[in-house]
């Protein structure tokens, strides 16, 4: 079975959903393919920065976003094992419309974008749809093959946008040149329920020679424990006692009881990768978001860089797509617009 659209977007993360929504609002027929049945995922970035909040405002979606479960982060506070906490960053005085970082579950953010897409006649979202291959003719990408409901199908398009994340299958199939960088760290990622307030600032805290990053959420604390790259198996072999002890000393009020119940099933490993395509495109294909530049989670900028990639792709490619004449120079313009930001924030 073969169908056709003007632009197919592979991957329903922030980059793909923003690009798809904006292109549809510009009058381009867009089909977004997401391989999962929902947007619930471990290790999805939850930090929505002021620039992205302004984007949601401009899209007429800020009221819907504000109705989502979220907390507001106004700065960065340093804690040590000795001495009082020190506020080192305060963003509440920034001269912007939304001088804070909103922390909200990314699946709620993506559901909001998906719901906004349903109001656009040119926007189509297919869930549980796994892309299996690029379709190429005379070295040009002309669409994708995918499986939906057990049926293998084809979707032809003037442009394919690969927004399928840091493990992008389309990036590999397209043989685009990539440069990888050594990263000495991984993260353990877990949450601790708490009835005590955690505050309104991100809290780096050290205890028992372990460094934690505490992200305040409503009713719980989201915690990243920085570990040496590749040390996950060795540290797990030492048992949970060292981790529980360090958590209790780092957050004695909020976590003493919760740490006792922590299990290894709740401690997820984030294998940090940092890489970047040196060319984001080939004829008929453009990579954006983590598919083009896998980011470190440090700084929580991934969602916002991905959203900005989506905006740039839509703004620069809407007219060529409407004219059904997308040149590689148009795709190169997207990389030129966004590459410096990705390099700077990496």
**Do residues 21 and 170 share a domain?**
yes
Asked whether residue 87 falls in the same domain as residue 199, the answer is yes
Residues 123 and 246 in one domain: no
Same domain, 229 and 329: no
Mean pLDDT of the chain, nearest integer = 89
Does residue 63 sit within a domain? no
Q: Give pLDDT, residue 18.
A: 98
The confidence score (pLDDT) of residue 254 equals 57
> Is pLDDT at 256 greater than 60 in this prediction?
no
- Does residue 10 lie within any of the structural domains? yes
Residues whose CB is less than 8 angstroms from the CB of residue 338 and which lie 6 or more positions away in sequence, other chains included: 288, 292, 305, 308, 309, 312
Radius of gyration of the chain (CA): 21
Q: How far is CA 143 from CA 1, 161, 196, in A?
A: 13, 10, 52
143: left (phi over 0), alpha (psi -120 to 50) or beta: left
Q: Are residues 314 and 241 part of one domain?
A: no
**Cα→Cα distances 16→29, 131, 165, Å:** 14, 14, 10
Tell whether 110 and 253 lie within a shared domain: no
- Check whether residue 329 and residue 197 sit in a common domain: no
Structural domain boundaries, residue 120:
2-43+106-180+274-345
**Cα distance between residue 211 and residue 213, in whole Å:** 7
pLDDT band at 75 (very low <50, low <70, confident <90, very high): confident
Neighbours of 104 (CB within 10 A): 20
- C-beta separation of 167 from 173 below 8 A: no
SS in 3 state form for 162-200?
ECCCCCCHHHHHCCCCEEEECCCEEEEEEEEECCCCCCC
Residue 294 pLDDT exceeds 80: yes
Same structural domain, 246 and 286: no
Say yes or no to pLDDT of 251 above 70: yes
Residue 199 has pLDDT above 70, yes or no: no
- On whether residue 253 sits in a domain, the answer given is yes
How many independent structural domains does the chain possess?
A: 2
CATH number at residue 33: 3.50.50.60
Please report the pLDDT score of residue 253 as a whole number.
Answer: 61
Q: Mark whether 261 and 199 lie in a shared domain.
A: yes
Give the sheet arrangement for strand 281-282, strand by strand. Answer: 123-126, 30-33, 7-10, 159-162, 285-287, 281-282
Q: What percent of the chain stands above pLDDT 90?
A: 62
b/e map 16-49, b = 16+ CB within 10 Å: bbbbbbbbbbbebbbbbbbbeeebeeeebbbbbb
Assigned domain for 59 exists: no
Instruction: Say yes or no to pLDDT of 279 above 70.
Output: yes
């Amino acid at each position: 079975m073969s169908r056709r659209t003007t632009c197919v977007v592979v991957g329903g993360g922030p980059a793909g959903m923003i690009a798809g929504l904006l292109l549809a609002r510009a009058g381009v027929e867009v089909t977004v393919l997401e391989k999962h049945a929902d947007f619930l995922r471990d290790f999805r970035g939850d930090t929505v920065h002021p620039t992205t909040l302004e984007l949601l405002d401009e899209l007429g979606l800020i009221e819907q976003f504000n109705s989502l479960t979220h907390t507001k982060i106004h700065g960065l506070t340093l804690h040590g094992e000795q001495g009082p906490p020190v506020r080192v960053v305060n963003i509440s005085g920034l001269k912007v419309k939304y001088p804070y970082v909103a922390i909200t579950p990314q699946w709620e953010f993506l559901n909001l974008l998906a719901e906004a897409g349903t109001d656009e006649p040119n926007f189509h979202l297919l869930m549980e749809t796994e892309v299996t291959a690029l379709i190429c003719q005379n070295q040009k990408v002309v669409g994708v093959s995918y499986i939906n409901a057990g049926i293998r199908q084809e979707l032809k398009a003037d442009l394919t946008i690969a927004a399928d994340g840091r493990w992008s299958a389309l990036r590999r199939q397209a043989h685009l040149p990539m440069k990888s960088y050594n990263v000495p760290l991984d993260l353990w990622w877990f949450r601790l329920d708490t009835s005590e307030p955690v505050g309104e600032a991100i809290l780096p805290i050290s205890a028992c020679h372990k460094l934690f990053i505490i992200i305040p959420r409503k009713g719980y604390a989201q915690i990243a424990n920085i570990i040496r790259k590749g040390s996950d198996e060795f540290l797990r072999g030492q048992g949970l006692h060292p981790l529980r002890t360090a958590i209790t000393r780092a957050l004695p009020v909020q976590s003493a009881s919760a740490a006792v119940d922590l299990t290894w099933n709740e401690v997820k490993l984030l294998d940090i990768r940092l890489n970047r395509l040196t060319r984001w495109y080939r004829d008929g294909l453009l990579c954006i978001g983590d598919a083009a530049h896998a980011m470190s989670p440090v700084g929580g900028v991934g969602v916002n860089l991905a959203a900005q990639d989506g905006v740039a792709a839509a703004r620069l490619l809407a007219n060529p797509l409407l004219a059904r004449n997308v040149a590689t120079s148009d795709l190169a313009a997207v990389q030129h617009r966004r590459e410096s930001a990705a390099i700077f924030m990496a």
